[in-house]
Structure 1
Amino acid sequence: MIRFIDSNDEKRTITQQILDALPAWFGIEESKQEYVDQSKDTFMFAYFDKDTPVGFIAIKQHYKQSAELTVMGVKSDYHRHGIGRKLVSECEKWCVEHHICYLQVKTLSEISSDESYAKTRKFYEGVGFVPLETFPTLWDEANPCLLLVKYLNI
């Protein structure tokens, strides 16, 4: 079941729990803590298995017609069960309801050989995002940033 999360404490808790369970993607403690701290400034949906959150997606609206998928995570035991796709779909539905027609996401570029992020890029492309530009030093030289975008036909 997916539900909208509006409590800042619940946003922080869900973000912390799920990112802690994904060290291959969120192993840098400082970066992980930034996601947790910034979760209060996002619109969040979480996927629950009974009463336990197993996935979430956070969106930040930057401008009237554009938003960013700032962070997303699904616990590894739940990968390849359609949860990520359902969360992205819920995010897109929310964007359309709010007249947002462009959704972006940033992830580690293919310049990096990290296998976990290769799966991440494949996932985003599989749900309709297209690569727009690589920023080799946006985060730092060891972590080149790939910007992907998706047009939501509103």
Structure 2
Amino acid sequence: MTASLTVVRTLGRSDVAHDILAELPEWFGLEKYTSEYVEAADSYANYVAASADKVLAGFRPPSVGEPELKLPDALGILLLRQRFPTSAEVHLLAVRRAHHRAGIGRALLGQVEADLRARGVRLLSVKTLGPSRPDPDGYDQTRAFYEACGFLPVEEFPDLWPNDPCLLMVKVL
């Protein structure tokens, strides 16, 4: 991970979600799903990663006042959905292509996990495409990333998503 990386929690950064997802059509290329992720950024907790030397130094939630974060400065985003006091779900984790394998996804997850532990949350889950689907788009790498971060595969649901198997993965915090 880059030592000069900052991860901040905020809300409503649908602009960041849209901009990063547009760079990753092989994972987020269907407009229907991309739109759903962008809309989710308005209601779920957003964790944004950027270089520490960028404007993020004074980053505050929108209720206090948005900083001048320029879209190219945002390197990754994680949307967190919490349905119950003891569990939460990674709804979206996306990192700009040029910064893949640079520790940004791990940094985002690390900050989320620290925040959740501090609030007494005990379980973090993520859903991704299941291994029974042919893998021309690199989802083997996605699953390997989550496994390397401590997530365990729980069950593959063949019919949860239209035409795609869903793999539920969880991590005890």
Band the TM-score falls in, shorter-chain normalisation:
over 0.9
Q: CA RMSD in A?
A: 1.0
> In the TM superposition, what whole-angstrom CA distance separates every residue of 1:81-130 from its partner, at most 9, and x where no partner exists?
11111111011011111111010000000011224111100000000000
Task: Tell me by how many angstroms 1:68 deviates.
Answer: 0.3
Equivalent in the alignment of 2:112: 91
Structure number with higher strand proportion: 1
Give the match for residue 138 of structure 2: 116
Runs of 4+ displaced beyond 2 Å? none
Unaligned runs of 5+ in 1: none
- What TM-score, normalized to structure 1? 0.92
1:56 is aligned with what amino acid? I
Instruction: Among all aligned residue pairs of Structure 1 and Structure 2, give the percentage whose two residues are the same amino acid.
Output: 36
Matches within 5 A, 1:6-45: 6=11, 8=12, 11-45=13-47
In the other structure, the counterpart of 1:3 is: 8
Show CA shifts across 1:35-93 (max 9, x none).
Answer: 11111221111111335101011111110101000001001110111111111101101
Larger radius of gyration: 2
For structure 2, the residue ranges without an aligned partner over 5 or more in a row are: 1-5, 56-72
TM-score by length of 2: 0.83
Identify the range of structure 1 (128-137 vs 49-58) with the bigger mean alpha-carbon deviation.
49-58
SS of the residue 1:95 aligns to: helix
Match of 2:50 in 1: 48
Equivalenced residue count is 148
